[in-house]
C-alpha cells in the first residue's frame, strides 16, 4: 500500500476476471480437496485479475451512510480485551451482545440477531502461503460481497422457520460489522466500495463457497474503473465499520442487487446457518 498523501492511498485489489467460462459455469471455491470420483474437478474455477485501486479516506466524509453508499462508521466501545478474542464464549456472550445493542440503537432496529463471527490475525508469512492451513482467517484481497439476496432469504427461513415469511414481508438487512482488535490500524485495513458507483447488473455475479456439508452463495465482482473505494486511516478498536451484504428495500443502497441471480446453482447435503 503506497500513500499519495494523508487522504489517499494506492493498493492492489483482485477482482473476478471477465472470462467466457462464466457464461456456462458459476464461480465456485471448494474449501476442501475434491473427493474421490470427482478428483479431476478443480478446487476452484475462480480466475482473478489484479488492479491498482485508489482508496479515499473516510475521515470527515458526512454522506457515507448505509442507506446511500452501503457502509458507514459506528462508534462502539469494545467490551473485551485483545487477549479475550482467544475466547469464543466470551466473544459470543459479551462482545456480540454489546455490539448488537449498539447496532439496535444506531439503526433503530426492532431486532438484531448475531449470525456469526470471525477473528482474523495475520500470520507473519501472509500473503505468502505456508502450504498449511492458518490458525486464523487471513486478510482477503479480492472484491466480494458475502451474501446474495437469495442466500439472505435462505438464512432467514432457517432462522425463523414458520415465522420466516412474515419477516421477509418486512424490511430486513444482513450487515457486517468489522473492527480491529488492536489499533490504530493501518496494516491490511478494510477497503469499502461505494455502491452508488457499482453497476450490479454488469459488474457482479453470484458464486458458491462450498464446504463439506453446506455451501453459501456470495457475490463476485468484476473490475470497473467507475468504482470508488474508501478506507478508514488509523482505525481504532472503538470504530466499527458497518457494511451491507443484503438489503430487502430496493430504494436503499444494496449489497447484493435483487435482480442479479445466477442461472447455475450448487446443491450440497445439509443446511447452513451463518
pLDDT digits (tens, 9 = 90+) for 79-134: 999 999 999 999 999 999 999 999 999 999 999 999 989 998 887 777 766 666 76
| Domain locations along the chain | 2-120+139-247
* 18 vs 225: CA distance, rounded Å: 14
Q: Which residue has the cell 478446487?
A: 43
Helices and strands per DSSP (H, E), number in the chain:
6, 12
* 180 vs 120: CA distance, rounded Å: 9
How sure is the predictor about 31, in pLDDT bands with cuts at 50, 70 and 90? Answer: confident
- Helix (H) or strand (E) segment spanning residue 157: helix 149-160
pLDDT score of 273: 27
* 120 vs 123: CA distance, rounded Å: 9
Best CA proximity match to 15, nearest among 207, 209, 244:
207
Pair 71, 192: CB distance under 8 Å: yes
Q: Which residue has the cell 446453482?
A: 265
Furthest C-alpha separation in the chain: 56
* 223 vs 17: CA distance, rounded Å: 8
CB atoms within 10 A of CB 1: 13
* 84 vs 78: CA distance, rounded Å: 11
Q: Which residue has the cell 462508521?
A: 73
Over 70: is that where the pLDDT of 260 sits? no
Q: What is the pLDDT of residues 66-92, one digit of tens each?
A: 999 999 999 999 999 999 999 999 999
- Helix (H) or strand (E) segment spanning residue 105: helix 96-107
Task: Provide the strand spans (E) within the chain.
Answer: 2-3, 8-16, 28-30, 48-57, 71-75, 144-145, 173-178, 192-193, 204-210, 215-221, 229-231, 239-247
How sure is the predictor about 268, in pLDDT bands with cuts at 50, 70 and 90? Answer: very low
Pair 151, 217: CB distance under 8 Å: yes
Pair 239, 179: CB distance under 8 Å: yes
* 140 vs 29: CA distance, rounded Å: 14
**Strands 48-57 and 229-231, bridge-based pairing:** parallel
* 244 vs 177: CA distance, rounded Å: 9
In this structure, the chain runs to a length of 274
CB atoms within 10 A of CB 201: 10
CB atoms within 10 A of CB 162: 7
Best CA proximity match to 239, nearest among 59, 91, 76:
76
Q: What is the pLDDT of residues 135-183, one digit of tens each?
A: 777 778 899 999 999 999 999 999 999 999 999 999 999 999 999 999 8
C-alpha cell at 238: 472503538
Coil, strand or helix: which one is 8?
strand
pTM comes to: 0.86
Amino acid at each position: 500500500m503506497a500513500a499519495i498523501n494523508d487522504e489517499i492511498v494506492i493498493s492492489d485489489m483482485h477482482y473476478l476476471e471477465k472470462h467466457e467460462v462464466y457464461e456456462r459455469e458459476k464461480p465456485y471455491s471448494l474449501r476442501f480437496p475434491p473427493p474421490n470420483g470427482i478428483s479431476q474437478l478443480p478446487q476452484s474455477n475462480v480466475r482473478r485479475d489484479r488492479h491498482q485501486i485508489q482508496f479515499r479516506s473516510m475521515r470527515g466524509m458526512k454522506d457515507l451512510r448505509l442507506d446511500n453508499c452501503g457502509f458507514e462508521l459506528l462508534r462502539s466501545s469494545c467490551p473485551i480485551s485483545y487477549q479475550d478474542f482467544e475466547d469464543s464464549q466470551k466473544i459470543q456472550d459479551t462482545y456480540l451482545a454489546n455490539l448488537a445493542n449498539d447496532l439496535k440503537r444506531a439503526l433503530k432496529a426492532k431486532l438484531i440477531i448475531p449470525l456469526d463471527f470471525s477473528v482474523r490475525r495475520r500470520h507473519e508469512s501472509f500473503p505468502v502461503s505456508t502450504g498449511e492451513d492458518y490458525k486464523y482467517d487471513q486478510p482477503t484481497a479480492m472484491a466480494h460481497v458475502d451474501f446474495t439476496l437469495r442466500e439472505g432469504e435462505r438464512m432467514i427461513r432457517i432462522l425463523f422457520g414458520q415465522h420466516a415469511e412474515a419477516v421477509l414481508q418486512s424490511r430486513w438487512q444482513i450487515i457486517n460489522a468489522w473492527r480491529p482488535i488492536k489499533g490504530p490500524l493501518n496494516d491490511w485495513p478494510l477497503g469499502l466500495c461505494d455502491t452508488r458507483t457499482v453497476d450490479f447488473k454488469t459488474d457482479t455475479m453470484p458464486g458458491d463457497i462450498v464446504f463439506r456439508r453446506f455451501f453459501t452463495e456470495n457475490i463476485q465482482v468484476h473490475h470497473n474503473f467507475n468504482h470508488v473505494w474508501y478506507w478508514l486511516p488509523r482505525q481504532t478498536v472503538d470504530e466499527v465499520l458497518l457494511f451491507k451484504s443484503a438489503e430487502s428495500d430496493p430504494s436503499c443502497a444494496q449489497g447484493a442487487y435483487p435482480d442479479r441471480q445466477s442461472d447455475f446453482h450448487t446443491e450440497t447435503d445439509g443446511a447452513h446457518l451463518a
